[in-house]
Amino acid sequence: MHIMEGFLPTPWWQIWFAVSIPVILYGIHKLNRLVKEKREILPLLAVAGAFIFVLSSLKLPSITGSCSHPTGTGIAAIMFGPAITAVLSTIVLIYQALFLAHGGLTTLGANVFSMGIVGPVVAYLIYKAGMKANLNFYLVVFLATAFGDWATYVTTSVELALAFPAASGGVLASFTKFAAIFAVTQVPLAIMEGAVSALLFKYVVNVKSDILVEMKVIEESVVRKLRGNSA
């Protein structure tokens, strides 16, 4: 999902910066306010950020015979919303760009847009819709995080296709080529990410559901039901 350093020509890398920067700034603003109002969420924020750190460092083999990595952004998106997740993702992406030559500083805007914005927004919307529909909580977390992960890789394919339209067939033809690498490789990884995210959520609900209820992430009645099931 990382677009490598230098692999987005002008004007595309500037365009993605222009799109991402306002979201990151809004995220920083929201984060400051949240931390000021509720200091007790800090450990949870650290856990969500650390989860992105772990998952985005694991390059896993996929059925296509190549490796890719999950994003881990779904948990943060569900707990804190997409804007704050964009800030957390930016930190991880800068680390990887500076120390691992993974992604890059010119492509940072595009990578933040796919991993920190589109993926989390998709995860967040699926989570809200799923909870409204009264589906099983862990199933909703699984779906939200898996599709969020997958949406990130589809977005990367779109970003590359826009920057490199094929001579015959244009943007759509190149999208098919990029998606063949990213979107297909990512399917099993997205499933694994969804499963592991659901598991982490189970542990957080077990030990610290009151903060989640207070932040309106999950309703008291759902917690009681989950406790009842797992007791």
Partner 1 sequence: MSRKLELIVLAILLIFAAQFFYMSSTTDAEYGGADGKVEGVIQDITGGTYKPIAEPIWEPPSGEIESLLFGLQAAIGAGIIGYFLGYYRAKKNNENDIGYKSKKKSECEKQSL
**Smaller CB separation from partner 1, 12 or 124:** 12
Of 25, 35, 91, 100, the residue at the interface with partner 1 (CB under 8 A) is 100
Piece of 19-27, 80-88, 126-134, 195-203 that binds partner 1 (CB under 8 A): 195-203
Listed residue (107, 114, 129, 145) closest to 17, CA to CA = 107
- Of 31 and 125, which CB lies nearer to partner 1 in the complex structure? 31
224 lines the binding site for partner 1 (CB under 8 A): no
| Closer to partner 1 by Cβ: residue 11 or 22 | 11
Q: 21, 125, 195, 215: which one contacts partner 1 (CB under 8 A)? A: 195
For residue 175, state whether it binds partner 1 (rule: CB under 8 A). no
CA 224 to chain centre: 28
Q: Work out the angle at residue 140's Cα, subtended by the Cα atoms of residues 138 and 143, and round it to the nearest 5 degrees.
A: 110
Least Å distance, CB 198 to partner 1, is: 7
CA distance 18 to 171: 21
Tokens linked to 64: 């296509």
Paired strand residues for 103: none
Work out whether 229 is an interface residue with partner 1 (CB under 8 A): yes
Nearest approach in angstroms of CB 168 to partner 1 is 10
Instruction: Say if residue 31 is exposed, middle or buried (CB neighbours under 10 Å; 0-12, 13-18, 19+).
Output: middle
- Contact between 95 and partner 1 (CB under 8 A)? yes
Select from 36, 99, 132, 216 the one that contacts partner 1 (CB under 8 A): 99
Ramachandran bin of 112, using left for φ above 0, alpha for ψ from -120 to 50, beta for the remaining angles:
alpha
Count of CB atoms situated within 10 Å of the CB of 168? 6
Q: Is residue 133 involved in binding partner 1 (CB under 8 A)? A: no
Least distance CB 45 / partner 1 (angstroms):
10
Q: Which of residues 26-85 bind partner 1 (CB under 8 A)?
A: 39-40, 42-44, 46-47, 49-54, 56-59, 61-68
- HSE value, Cβ hemisphere, 13 Å, CA-based, for 165: 8
